[in-house]
Amino acid sequence: MKLNVPEIIRRKRDGERLGDDELRALIGEYTADRIPDYQMAALLMAIFFCGLDTAELAVWTDAMTRSGAVMRHDRVRGPKVDKHSTGGVGDKISLCLAPAVAACGVPVPMISGRGLGHTGGTLDKLESIPGFRVDLEPAAASAQLERLGLFLIGQTEDVAPADRRLYALRDVTGTVESIPLIASSIMSKKLAEGIDALVLDVKVGEGAFMETAARARELARTIIDIGAASGVAVRALLTDMGAPIGRTVGNSLEAREAIDVLRGGGPSDTIALTIELGAEMLVLGKAAKELEAGRASVRRVLADGTALALFARVIEAQRGDPRVCDDPSRLPVAAHRDPLAARRRGYVTGIRPRAVAMAALEVGAGRRRKEDDIDPSAGVELLVARGDLVEAGAPLAALHHGGSGEGEAMRLLESAFEIGDAPPASTALVIDRL
């Protein structure tokens, strides 16, 4: 199809619908380097303002998915279900959730990403486990899914190359914050996993990509619509990101915390998120009739060690050291652990996730740019939670670092804590379900 790209840009700019063939050709030609970045940048900005309707977005996303390889798991029985989180601070839920759900009998083909900026990435947390490999070949991953019910891998070059190019362009052209573009980016990769259903964890709040519940709900509805058009059932939870998830931010610290949850321990919010998201996945995966039964199943596999045992087998299958499951001290440990003391007595009324994340970034736990190296052992350990009463001088947090960036990190970390005279109102972890 011969495209008149300036004319297509004008039509989208003027609020018109684009045709299915046009949308597919735009994605195809752009991925094949036959549409220049400057035209795609203008089109993306026009989409930022004028959007894509449900039907346009379904085609646009499908074209992005088909720009690369799409996995099939023909030998894996039953519905395959994954979870996607829009990204938070301290979000290590995938590491405990995926083994728990797989242990309940629902296959989980999980492809994750790396951290960038203030949000962490599941791959980085997995790779803090010594030896763990996230670069399985598709056939090997599918075979592992059949055998263990779970793989935890990274996105290869083959998966949705259109998304990789579009995302890189959006990042430098001020077109990231567009609901249809965010939704299509997420779903193009998820649909390439060969899933039948998806649970979406849309984080809401200061530490999240979506700062308001209204925007989060709009994103969730958009993704549900894309899923419906592709035959993938999507359930979405809007969850609170007003404080970091759990007590740790940083890769090996978070892996350790996830193992705590798989051992039946861990912080209450992390356990609760695992149970809530897990129950949704079990219902979608037909392993539970309703949520309450799903919750009970997840609780059981966390309590009886089944989920931890499965995680150990997956680690071993992916060449990692499974002994971390019994002995988390085998995970990388930072050279320094500096405490942060409370300046005054009072209630912890807030722990600002973005400031905690920036402190972790400062000591090397994350990346400013894609090409940056990270320090798997660096990060922040929170020693108090929102609502706790602390005495002046009591430790609020500990900074784990290798001896660089700790000065600025400590200042950022201190700025994260809000101490007041009265305890804060309690907040709901799950804000809404769609």
Residue 336 annotated among the catalytic residues of the structure: no
Stretch that binds its own copies, among 39-47, 87-95, 201-209, 250-258 (CB under 8 A): 39-47
Question: Should residue 9 be labelled a site residue for its own copies when binding is judged by CB under 8 A?
Answer: yes
Contacting residue, 41, 272, 385, 394, with its own copies by CB under 8 A: 41
Buried b (16+ CB within 10 A) or exposed e, 12-37: beeeeebeeebbbbbbbbbbeeebee
Residue count, binding to its own copies (CB under 8 A): 28
Rounded to the nearest whole angstrom, what is the least distance from the CB of residue 65 to its own copies in the complex? 24
Nearest to 275 by CA among 314, 304, 302, 309: 302
φ/ψ of 249, rounded to 5, equals -135, 115
Which residue of the set 24, 118, 125, 170 is catalytic? 170
Which residue of the set 73, 83, 84, 118 is catalytic? 84
CB distance 159 to 68 below 8 Å: yes
Rounded to the nearest whole angstrom, what is the least distance from the CB of residue 3 to its own copies in the complex? 12
Residue 400 annotated among the catalytic residues of the structure: no
Cβ burial of 321 (10 Å; 0-12, 13-18, 19+) is middle
Question: Should residue 171 be labelled a site residue for its own copies when binding is judged by CB under 8 A?
Answer: yes
Give the residue carrying structure tokens 């999980």: 110
Stretch that binds its own copies, among 169-177, 200-208, 325-333, 397-405 (CB under 8 A): 169-177
Residue 84 annotated among the catalytic residues of the structure: yes
Distances (CA, A) of 310 to 96, 106, 218, 383, 388: 11, 13, 36, 30, 35
Structure tokens belonging to residue 38: 């400057």
Contacting residue, 21, 137, 177, 326, with its own copies by CB under 8 A: 177
Distances (CA, A) of 159 to 82, 113, 202: 16, 12, 23
Rounded to the nearest whole angstrom, what is the least distance from the CB of residue 427 to its own copies in the complex? 28
Which residue of the set 24, 73, 189, 352 is catalytic? 189
- When the beta carbons of 46 and 351 are compared against its own copies, the nearer one is 46
Q: Assign residue 322 a region: left if phi > 0, alpha if psi is -120 to 50, beta otherwise? A: alpha
Mask for 188-227, x = binds its own copies (CB under 8 A): ----------------------------------------
Residue 163 annotated among the catalytic residues of the structure: yes
Question: Should residue 3 be labelled a site residue for its own copies when binding is judged by CB under 8 A?
Answer: no
Residue 189 annotated among the catalytic residues of the structure: yes
Cα 115 to Cα 124: distance, rounded to the nearest angstrom = 7
Question: Should residue 169 be labelled a site residue for its own copies when binding is judged by CB under 8 A?
Answer: yes
Question: Should residue 175 be labelled a site residue for its own copies when binding is judged by CB under 8 A?
Answer: yes
Nearest to 49 by CA among 98, 15, 18, 73: 15
CB distance 106 to 81 below 8 Å: yes
Stretch that binds its own copies, among 40-48, 98-106, 114-122, 201-209 (CB under 8 A): 40-48
Question: Should residue 10 be labelled a site residue for its own copies when binding is judged by CB under 8 A?
Answer: yes
Contacting residue, 32, 172, 335, 341, with its own copies by CB under 8 A: 172
Question: Should residue 38 be labelled a site residue for its own copies when binding is judged by CB under 8 A?
Answer: yes
Rounded to the nearest whole angstrom, what is the least distance from the CB of residue 183 to its own copies in the complex? 19
Structure tokens belonging to residue 204: 């809401």
Residues 6+ apart with CB under 8 A from 332: 128, 130, 252, 376, 377
φ/ψ of 70, rounded to 5, equals -115, 125
Contacting residue, 23, 26, 27, 46, with its own copies by CB under 8 A: 46
Contacting residue, 30, 48, 60, 311, with its own copies by CB under 8 A: 48
Rg (CA), the chain: 22
- The residues annotated with a catalytic role in the active site are 84, 163, 170, 185, 189
Residues in the site for its own copies, rule: CB under 8 A? 5-10, 12-13, 36-46, 48-49, 169, 171-175, 177
